[in-house]
Chain A
Amino acid sequence: MANFEELSKSVISGNLAKVKKVTQALIDEGVSPLDIINLGLIAGMGVVGARFKNGEMYVPEVLVAARSMRAGIELVQPLIASEDMPSAGKVLLGTVKGDLHDIGKNLVGMMLESRGYTVINAGIDVSSEKFVQFIKEHKPDILAMSALLTTTMLGMKDTIELMKEEGLKDQVKVIIGGAPISNDFADEVGADGFAPDAASAVDLCNRLLA
């Protein structure tokens, strides 16, 4: 008989095929879909997050674990009304206009997903208008913007200004990150926070939504 522990372990080891198999078995057994997510999939990912923080697991392993968890959730998702889907929060993520750097933002997305956030990836070279359009469409709790260049980081300010104009700034928290970004800069452009790396971005989101 399939059980939650087995499912968690499969998530921790990033065994995608097994996660799918066990999840399906649990569904077939009639186990509550929410329990599958909370006690199996997310529980496993919680262990992964803790181990990464302690330096016992590394980025590629976290990524594979997150990927396997997502595969499990995709199987369960159709069985749950969308408003009942457990989520730590919804984050819209993108690299600002004129900037094609992708890897840092992807790391943030991966870490957020692994800690139970729903992540909408707007991609790279995202203009203020596009960000606002995405916000209207997806209604995220948090907007996370990334920039690697001192020239493109100005796009963050433009986006925040546009959000204010559109009356969206009060509904959505804004966090920013990237090599040239600092706390001072975050204050200057009116962001709600700055995270120097992916792991602290998760902590920051937790704090902002607490």
Chain B
Amino acid sequence: MRAFDIIRTCLRNLTKRKLRTTLTVSGVLIGTSAIIVMMSLGIGMDREMTKMIEEWADLTMIEVYNYGGRTDQGGEVADITDDVIKEFKALKNVTSVMPVYTNFYVGEQIAVYNTNGKALQWTPLVGVYMDELENFGFKLKEGRFKQPGEPNTTVLFGSEVGEYVILFEEGIDQWGNYQYEYAERDWDTWELLSFPVDHMGDEWYIIPLTMDYNTWRPDYSVIDSPTAPHMDYNEQLNVVGVIEGSWSFYETVRGIFIDISYIKGLIEAYNELNPDNQYAEFDGVYNNVRIRVNDMDNVVAVEDELKAMGYQTWSANEMRENMRQQIMIIQLLLAALAAVSLFVAAMNITNTMIMAIVERTKEIGIMKVLGCDVGKIRIMFLGEAAAIGFLGGVAGIILSLGLSFIINNFLGTLFMGLMGGGGSEAIRISVIPPWLALMALGIAMAVGVVAGLYPAHRSVKISALAAISHE
């Protein structure tokens, strides 16, 4: 018997009992779409959550701190030096390691100013490995990265550096305040429209400041007096580029990136000028190191290794994993609920098939007597059950695509409204990736086949003799 004939026979038997087939298929349809929709909610939640976290956090970055403590073996935790950083970099899945030194704030201990008389405010001076920035995944808004061999006065600006500047040449007013100027911001998109400074066009200088203890303000007057001792430390900065800022790494928005080697000299200069307010000398030990991991799924493993070495770590991924586990539990519960309906559908299929076999006992007997292979009879019934599963699966996919559409377009906005979300971006609570649809179809067919096993076995056991002799 040819495969095509078997398929034809299956379909004929299914179409002969249209109502019964439709009802049985509906059972599978409900089960399949329940599973798809439930799973799609979990997937949608996971995606929304990941997207949300990505907006304010960098999921492939780990921050490492050293607060002392012990290693897993009970040894002393090694200070984070350049050598330890090399060890970090040798860890599996780590693509880049960078120390971050941010003790100095521009506008407090130091001044960065241009020749137009404007000095930057609210700007951390970030000591990093300048040659590692590109490898670490920084993106540029304009300009270029520092080339190896360029002097350590080569810097990159964060994207919003210069949002607020002091006009130090105007001096202080009658209340002791400096005049200032700030950028225009579009408060809807949160974008800066114009800067009071030209990042790459202006001529920039850096100088350590002293504190005016009467006003508790840094004293900018030194900049305009060429005889002041400060001028020994007045150096021109070479701004080669502006970083594409991201709030997941605050300094890329507000900071000035400079080579860590420059910071060392800066501390010495500052301490010399401020004998009453000393900074600890830079001894080659970092407190904060950022590690870039190749994939967010490997972050936990890298973190575990770092913890075993005795360091404290923080990553947004840790939080994401926690939330993800909660979502997974919800998803499993929902899927289990849906599985119940699929189980009912399976019993329904078995019942339908047993009825079909009872009705067709005589027919099966005749076929056996006329020489139809026993195996083909089994395949025929399994095929019928699988076809019910397949039809239910396909219908289930179609139904759940519709349900998903409704959920996303109507319930989604309702949901966001309840949560008080802005709703500028459409939220997709239910996501059906192709693999989910295919998996559901596979499950539906498998359920059909499994449900058909016993009836098919029964059909094979029918005695040809008894079947043809009973009227």
Q: Is chain B a partner of chain A in the same complex?
A: no
Chain B residues within CB distance 8 Å of chain A: none
